[in-house]
């Protein structure tokens, strides 16, 4: 069929009638993403006085699905019976996989052929890509598992934008981005006045622009990357693009037009750590994403972040995170042993959240 409309609603039928959204839940899905999708639509219905938006909960089976917050949700119908939706979003942790890897992806592909807009929130992009529905497309991938996603799906264009619409695919990186996406739907269908009132109901601070990018915490710091000076941001960008083939700190300083000593001083003033330490932590954090969310062997992971052998990476990994990478892959691994590392405690909390879905 012809490729999709330019608006957020999708099908022509949805433009004439109310919009029906389906949410496909995987075990361990991020509950915040679900409530951030449904609540603004509920408010919009109340404000406009009609059911402009409808929603249904789906799962691969008819059994309840437990969210990352340990609450259980009863699906309205199994995926195999899904019909009549205009948009369908997958909600999953990054480790989520299909219980029925043959029929469930086939059902999604059938829905795609019928013109349904398909999308994903947070870790839901992983099963959507595994279903073969994102090849050659762009998508929003949360910074917590961007390295793991790029490694598993090199043909999918992962973006730092909080929301990405690429044809009949719409993806949002986290719960706040999902709320923004729903506001866009409300604005498109009910007008900016209604959208503004919905945002005010929930004291949502602002609607980000379509090109808004994710804010990322500065490692071992209380600041975010958007608060850094241009020179430090550029240094971090160079770190990011040279993980497999690390650059010398002196060469980075020269590329920025600074002396080595001046660069060290500026970088440490803004991040609280030396460029070398920050660079190594970034490489190890990217390695950790692949440890947690892929089955790649340790030598391959080590090579992808600039180590010639796995041994030194394993040693540095344990020093930073308080646990060896091979132990983090064991079921039921105790995460609390990282708490003794002081500043590593924040990293542990962040990665637990990323593992469970955001």
Alpha helices in 49-191, H assignment, sequence order: 103-113, 125-130, 146-152, 175-190
**Do residue 51 and residue 151 come from a single domain?**
yes
CATH number at residue 293: 1.10.10.60
**The pLDDT of residue 331:** 53
Average pLDDT, the chain: 88
- Are both 194 and 229 inside the same structural domain? no
Same domain, 134 and 249: no
Is pLDDT of 123 > 60?
A: yes
pLDDT band at 206 (very low <50, low <70, confident <90, very high): confident
CATH number at residue 27: 3.40.50.880
**One domain, residues 254 and 336:** yes
Per-residue pLDDT of 69-113, as tens digits, reads: 999 999 999 999 999 999 999 999 999 999 999 999 999 999 999
Confidence of residue 10 (pLDDT cuts 50, 70, 90): low
pLDDT tier for residue 11 given thresholds of 50, 70 and 90:
low
Q: Is the pLDDT of residue 59 over 60?
A: yes
Average pLDDT over residues 159-168: 94
Q: Is residue 34 scored above 60 in pLDDT?
A: yes
Nearest to 293 by CA among 144, 89, 99: 144
Residue 215 banded pLDDT, cuts 50, 70, 90: confident
The answer to whether 294 and 148 have CB atoms below 8 angstroms apart is: yes
| Residue 217: inside a domain | no
Please give the model's pTM, rounded to 2 decimal places: 0.81
Integer distance in angstroms from the first to the last C-alpha of the chain?
Answer: 34
Q: Are 307 and 280 in contact (CB under 8 A)?
A: no
Reported as a single tens digit per residue, the pLDDT across 341-350 is: 333 444 444 4
- Whether residue 211 is contained in a domain is answered as no
Q: 155: how many CB neighbours lie within 10 A of its CB?
A: 9
Let me know whether 104 and 56 are in one domain: yes
β-partners of residue 158 are 139
Q: Which two tokens stand for residue 229?
A: 């000076």
| Residue 5 belongs to a domain | no
d(CA 356, CA 358): 7
Structural domain including 170 reads 12-201
Give me the DSSP letters along 61-85. Answer: SSS-EE-TTS-EE--SEEGGG--S-
Query: Do 51 and 160 fall within a single domain?
Result: yes
The proportion of the chain whose per-residue pLDDT surpasses 70, expressed as a percent, equals 87
Give dist(CA 255, CA 227) in Å, integer. Answer: 22
Tell me, yes or no, whether 302 lies in a domain. Answer: yes
In tens, the pLDDT along 262-271 reads: 999 999 999 9
Residues 233, 95 within the same domain: no
The phi, psi pair for 55, rounded to 5°, reads: -150, 150
Looking at the 3D structure of the chain, how many domains does it have? 2
47-52 long-range contacts, CB within 8 A, separation 24+: 47/190, 47/194, 47/197, 47/198, 48/190, 48/194, 50/18, 51/18, 52/18, 52/19, 52/189, 52/190
Position 3 in a domain:
no
Is residue 218 included in any domain, yes or no? no
Instruction: Flag whether 98 is in a domain.
Output: yes
What confidence score (pLDDT) does residue 124 get?
97
């Amino acid at each position: 069929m012809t490729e999709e409309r330019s608006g957020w609603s999708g099908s022509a039928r949805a433009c004439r009638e109310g919009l029906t959204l389906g949410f496909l839940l995987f075990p361990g899905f991020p509950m915040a993403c679900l409530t951030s999708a449904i609540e603004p639509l509920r408010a919009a219905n109340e404000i406009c006085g009609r059911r402009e938006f409808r929603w249904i909960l789906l799962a691969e089976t008819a059994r309840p699905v437990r969210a990352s917050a340990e609450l259980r949700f009863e699906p309205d119908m199994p995926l195999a019976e899904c019909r009549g939706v205009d948009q369908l979003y997958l909600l999953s942790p990054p480790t989520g996989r299909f219980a029925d890897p043959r029929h469930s992806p086939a059902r999604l592909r059938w829905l795609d052929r019928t013109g349904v807009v398909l999308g994903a929130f947070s870790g839901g992009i992983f099963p959507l890509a595994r279903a073969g529905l994102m090849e050659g497309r762009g998508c929003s991938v949360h910074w917590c598992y961007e390295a793991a996603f790029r490694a598993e799906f090199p043909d999918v264009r992962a973006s730092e934008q909080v929301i990405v619409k690429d044809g009949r695919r719409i993806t949002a990186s986290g719960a706040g981005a999902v709320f923004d996406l729903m506001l866009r739907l409300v604005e498109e269908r009910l007008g900016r006045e209604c959208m503004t009132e919905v945002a005010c109901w929930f004291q949502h601070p602002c609607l980000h622009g379509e090109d808004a990018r994710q804010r990322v915490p500065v490692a071992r710091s209380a600041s975010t990357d958007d608060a850094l000076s241009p020179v430090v941001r550029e240094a971090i960008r160079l770190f990011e693009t040279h993980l497999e083939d690390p650059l010398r700190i002196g060469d980075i300083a020269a590329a920025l037009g600074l002396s080595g000593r001046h660069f060290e001083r500026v970088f440490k003033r803004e991040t609280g750590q030396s460029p070398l330490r920050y660079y190594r932590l970034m490489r190890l954090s990217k390695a950790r994403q692949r440890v947690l969310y892929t089955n790649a062997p340790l030598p391959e992971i080590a090579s992808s972040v600039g180590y010639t052998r796995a041994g030194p990476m394993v040693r540095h990994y344990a020093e930073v995170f308080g646990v060896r990478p091979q132990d983090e892959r064991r079921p039921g691994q105790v995460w609390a042993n990282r708490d003794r590392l002081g500043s590593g405690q924040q990293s542990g909390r962040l990665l637990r959240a990323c593992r469970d879905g955001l």
